[in-house]
Amino acid sequence: MSAAAAIATLDSVGSLQRVLYRTAKAQPSRKFHALADKVHRDDVLRRAWRDVARNGGAAGVDGVTIADIEESGVFGFLEALDDLFQG
């Protein structure tokens, strides 16, 4: 990923986080019923992957490690996650 793409991803995810935070603070009783569409956005998934890979995240319950995913292809992994969300 280029530096410009990485910065754009940080900006878009940061913007989403700020909007959700401000809304929650302004309306404490509000329920956020539909967050799944925001979780599986491409920019959010790429940012989440970068953060997990950077901190050396542990294998999940399926035993798949960061190295396993990198070996088989991060792009395909993120696409598969997006497909799971979209049903």
What amino acid is encoded at 79 in this protein?
Answer: E
Note whether 9 and 47 are within 8 A (CB).
yes
Note whether 40 and 85 are within 8 A (CB).
yes
**What is this structure's pTM?**
0.63
pLDDT tens figures, 26-72: 999 988 877 777 777 888 888 888 888 888 877 788 888 899 999 99
| Greatest extent of the chain over all pairs of C-alpha atoms, in Å | 44
CA-CA-CA-CA torsion sign (71, 74, 79, 85): positive
For residue 29, the SS3 value is coil
pLDDT at 82: 81
